[in-house]
Amino acid sequence: MFASCISAASVRILTRFCALVLVVSVGLASELRVRVRLSDGLVTEEVLEADSEKDSISVEFKQGDGTLITFVVDFKRDVKIFRALILGELERGQNQYQALCFVSRLNRNEIIPSESMARLRQKNPQAIRLAEERRGLEQLTMSVAVNLSRAWHLSSHIRNMCSEAREAIYTREADVKHWLEKGVDGSIFEVLPQTTELPSFQACHSTKDLWQPCLCTYSLRLEWYPCLLKYCRSRDTMGKGSTYKCGIKSCSKGYHFTYYVPQKQLCLWDEET
């Protein structure tokens, strides 16, 4: 499942005649491997999986710094999950890797349905994909912690995805209010300390003491994913027009998360340069 990165100079960009198409496929689950150019110029392999029975989609790839990013969409519960497995700095007392999970509400038209993803095939597997649309950066303040042992009330995927994160599973207060209105058990959530409650609270990048609490930031980008379906028109022998699904539109989108950590040691990447 781990994708590998290669230098941009060693590959040739194939952008013409490399369309992704929708075809009829057998089975409830499918996997598609797509080569994608990252913002740092490296090329990585994205693994896209769709399960039409569970009505879920996952996108996974490795960044140039070795971080493994996994994005899961649970259409049944309108939940999306981001997980980052970040290589730790052993010389600074960190574990081999650090896991983060960010959970938020799924919005309409963010990504194509699982049934359509399961039918997605590519004509040229060697093509390097570039997104057709670069969507704006989304800023998310993750002020609530999610209890892993009770997270199944929200989505069954959280426990599988975020077991390594444990105490580092975050969500937004606005999303919590929405889920509570939908009947989700409130014991899943715990509000984290806020800057308004702690006036001396600082951003981690300006905090010198490694053992002080602070506000951490983490950014990631989904460089390529199928965001919309494309429709084509046809006419029958009687001249009657109709539309049918004939492909996808690809998007790129960045996310910037801000959240509380009990010590800067858990946020070493967020430092002043």
Residue 148 lies in a domain: yes
| pLDDT at site 6 | 35
User: 235: domain range?
Assistant: 29-266
Q: Is 172 a member of any domain?
A: yes
User: What is the rounded distance in angstroms from the CA atom of residue 144 to the CA atom of residue 196?
Assistant: 15
pLDDT digits (tens, 9 = 90+) for 2-17: 333 333 333 333 333 3
User: Please, which pLDDT band fits residue 34 given cuts at 50, 70 and 90?
Assistant: very high
What is the arithmetic mean of pLDDT over 19-33? 60
Q: Is residue 195 in some structural domain?
A: yes
In this prediction, residue 20 has a pLDDT band, given cuts at 50, 70 and 90, of low
How far apart, in whole angstroms, are the C-alpha atoms of residue 176 and residue 142? 11
* 242 or 168, higher pLDDT: 168
Q: How confident is the model at residue 25 (pLDDT cuts 50, 70, 90)?
A: very low
HSE-CB of 204 using CA atoms within 13 angstroms? 22
Domain membership flag for residue 242:
yes
- 21 assigned to some structural domain: no
Average pLDDT over residues 14-35: 57
- Position 36 in a domain: yes
Task: Express each pLDDT in 139-186 by its tens digit.
Answer: 999 999 999 999 999 999 999 999 999 889 999 999 999 999 999 999
Q: Provide, rounded to the nearest whole percent, the portion of the chain with pLDDT above 90.
A: 65
Q: What is the pLDDT of residue 246?
A: 80
Backbone angles phi, psi at 173, to 5 degrees: -65, -40
Domain tally for the chain? 1
Residue 53 domain-assigned (yes or no):
yes
CA angle, 91 then 85 then 120, to 5°:
150
pLDDT at 27: 44
Considering the domain boundaries, does residue 205 fall inside one?
A: yes
